[in-house]
Chains A and B, each alone.
Chain A
């Protein structure tokens, strides 16, 4: 039988973190997405053990502060894109600056340095991702989705979608639908 599920990666990762941290039997706090504060010092073995365990879940311990920050930026962007309110009301740069408590310039600089892509690209990527989800859910029309995600028009959305994925939203929808129809163990 097939089950269709939706999941929040953030919550999943947090639970996994917790589980792993509990295993360590070290007092800790998760201070936000991507940050854990351990009250005590951690021995090398324990550190390596933790790292190995977390790696199993594709959770990496980031060393580089810039990497760390980039991750933060990404998280912030993701959060921004998936807000309930229409994105039109939000200016990306302002939101991020506020959220990360840095100037937009700094943010974009670090991002580009680390990822070799621009924040804009990433934002669009995320938007497209959200659009994909919305399209799959099928509750809203393309027009509605375009507006919600702050695209200029359906055409704009269509264009960006196609640019990004090489497929039209309709084609995408069709494919996903067909995928679900076939007996197919999908990824994740």
Chain B
């Protein structure tokens, strides 16, 4: 085929060449022809031009002459026209030298032209000198000549054209054919070339690919060589036993390490010799595997003991791979034996450990299990089975799910699945079903066991029954919940209390400076709860500027003394309200825990109230003072006229005794008496009012002294009546001395006054301390009192009047019988009441009276 195409190609090639030569040749001819044509045309053109030039020259000369004729200006005279014309003719001559006919024509033309010029010149001369008619004839002649010239020129031109036509036309015939012919030839050539081109390319490609594949093959071979080299190097350097074998299982190469390790030579090992390196116990297994591999071509993997040259057997992991060709045929085996003695030892240890664990696990109360790295449980301790009432078959792998509570199992699964993936120990709590169906809570703890590389090999786990704990925890939680609720309620109550009582609480850690404010404290400052971070500086911004220094000083003192006793201070709240605050607090804790815990109370109301109280007190005092002075003045001024009445009536009686009748004297006496009574009344009233208004200063009063004073005051009366006053030792107590004096004075005075006529008054006074817990009448008495009893042997009184006698202005006798105003006992009652006590009276007409009163011991305002 190739040869065929080859000859065809050659043939094409020759054909092509021939065609091209023809084309070239024809083209060349044609071009020459064309050039000729073009030259002829050019020639003709030039000739024509020259001819025309001649004519134009002539015409020019005519024009000039005409101009001169017209203007008579010598400017229009151009000499040299003839010479010019001659030159042109010369040129023409040379041009048409090949055409005799034309040469003849040319000669004729020349003649004509020359004649014309002659005429012109003649005319010129004529112009100067001759008449217009002559001139006219001359000009006419000239013109005729000109015509002749023109005609001749035309004829010449025509001739030239004809000539040209002829030559061109002649070529015309071939003109069309040649291009077509040429064009078709060219196209044909192109076609052939194209064919040729493609053919060539194909051949070339084929050639290249062959070369390339040859190159690749070369490269591949080189690589194989290289890798083989590498393999060899590797197999010699790495500390593993490496061997290769034939497809039928005969080992045919060993690396140096193999040889060194086993201590046997290549000859000893080759073929089946290597089998003696295997531990006899493992050999059977080895051979089984090996033959299986050879047959199936599957990878060969086995652990076996291999004999070290020292005589010891060490565990190795053998791995053999079949080398296959592209068809899949085994062409050989490559394998390694890696020493795993250490690993094996670890494994053994692990297994031992696990054995130990199992023994241990079986002995403990908890349930225990072991799983592999993925969480597949393969062993449970006996407890597990005892508890769940299951077997290993049921439980192994993920079987434990069976004993989980159905409600929780999903969650447990999810959790555990995640946990297996991690490499940390984990815990979980769930329900496990007991063999009797009851569920108990178990806490499982799983620990990963990692190998030397850190990968998880096993999981060991225990499950502890925490039902009790769980219940306990649940109970605890419930309790905590309750307590929390209680606390919440209490907190709420407390907060409510805070807001009602208008105080806020704070804690201040001295060391860290951290402060906590209760919500209400913020509210006190008219801020929102926890509006800002509490700090001393922030708090200071609320203090009223006038009190700021005081607060700082007090705080300094507090810190120094460790006791918080600061007086109140003002603050300006966020909304600009001024409030009075009182801080209180206690230090607690030591060192780092030292805290100041306290409250701040808004005492603005109390302050306002106390201010009001002070104001009111002042008003009251003023009112009292006014009243006192009024009473004094009133009584004083009221008494003055009475004195005069008494005085003058007495004087009248004394001085005018002789001049007065008895009646008159009597009247004056009555006047006197009346005036005296009025005076007494006024004095009593004054005395009574004074018990209200007098300065009530309680002080330690010795009643014995009081008694003495009273006796002194009543001395005259006592002496007069021969009265005897007996008294026990009287106590000293907190009382108003003046009032005590009045009290005793009135009572003893009464006893003296209301004594039986002719009977010496005998007054007895006793005192005893008592504790009272009763309600007497309308008065409540509680506590310790001094019971003082003053009894006499006077005229007594009827018991039915026991209350009346203490009333104001109430008397049991007429004013003439016994003088008196009826105020005395009322005053006594007031005084006793002012001392927190009561007074009562008992009387037996004709026998005597007893007055009992109680005075509070240690009365304090």
Contact = CB atoms under 8 A, between A and B. Distances in A.
B200 interface: no
Contacts of A159: 712, 715
A42 interface: no
Interface string B40-74: 00000000000000000000000000000000000
Contacts of B711: 155
A162 interface: yes
10 contacts: A155-B708, A155-B711, A155-B712, A158-B708, A158-B712, A159-B712, A159-B715, A162-B712, A168-B709, A168-B712
Contacts of A158: 708, 712
Interface string B699-719: 000000000110110010000
Chain A: interface size category: under 10
Interface of A is mostly: helix
Given A155-B711, A162-B712, 8 more contacts: A155-B708, A155-B712, A158-B708, A158-B712, A159-B712, A159-B715, A168-B709, A168-B712
A81 B712 CA distance: 25
A155 B718 CA distance: 14
B705 to A, nearest CB: 9
Interface in B591-633: none
Interface of A: 155, 158-159, 162, 168
Nearest to A161: B712
Top 9 A-B residue pairs of the complex, sorted by shortest distance between their CB atoms: A162-B712, A158-B712, A159-B712, A159-B715, A155-B708, A168-B712, A168-B709, A158-B708, A155-B712
A168 B715 CA distance: 13
Interface residues of B, number: 5
A16 B120 CA distance: 204
Contacts of B708: 155, 158
Nearest to B709: A168
Contacts, number: 10
Nearest to A154: B708
Contacts of A162: 712
A34 to B, nearest CB: 38
Contacts of B709: 168
Contacts of A155: 708, 711-712
Nearest to A162: B712
A67 B711 CA distance: 41
Contacts of A168: 709, 712
Nearest to A171: B709
A146 to B, nearest CB: 13
Nearest to A163: B715
A168 B710 CA distance: 12
A85 B701 CA distance: 35
B740 to A, nearest CB: 15
A159 B708 CA distance: 10
B697 to A, nearest CB: 16
B406 to A, nearest CB: 104
Interface string B712-755: 10010000000000000000000000000000000000000000
Nearest to A158: B712
B543 to A, nearest CB: 45
Contacts of B712: 155, 158-159, 162, 168
B294 to A, nearest CB: 141
A168 B712 CA distance: 9
Nearest to B708: A155
Nearest to A155: B708
A171 to B, nearest CB: 10
A69 B711 CA distance: 41
Contacts of B715: 159
A163 to B, nearest CB: 9
A151 to B, nearest CB: 14
A168 B709 CA distance: 9
Nearest to B715: A159
A155 B711 CA distance: 10
A158 B715 CA distance: 11
A64 B769 CA distance: 67
A155 B705 CA distance: 11
A159 B718 CA distance: 13
Interface string B132-164: 000000000000000000000000000000000
A162 B715 CA distance: 11
B457 to A, nearest CB: 109
Nearest to B705: A170
A158 B710 CA distance: 12
A155 B714 CA distance: 13
A155 B715 CA distance: 11
A168 B708 CA distance: 11
A3 B712 CA distance: 36
A158 to B, nearest CB: 6
A155 B709 CA distance: 10
A82 B709 CA distance: 28
A128 B712 CA distance: 17
A158 B711 CA distance: 11
B840 to A, nearest CB: 31
A186 to B, nearest CB: 28
A168 B711 CA distance: 12
B347 to A, nearest CB: 115
B708 to A, nearest CB: 7
B361 to A, nearest CB: 103
A126 B709 CA distance: 24
A162 B713 CA distance: 9
Interface in B619-668: none
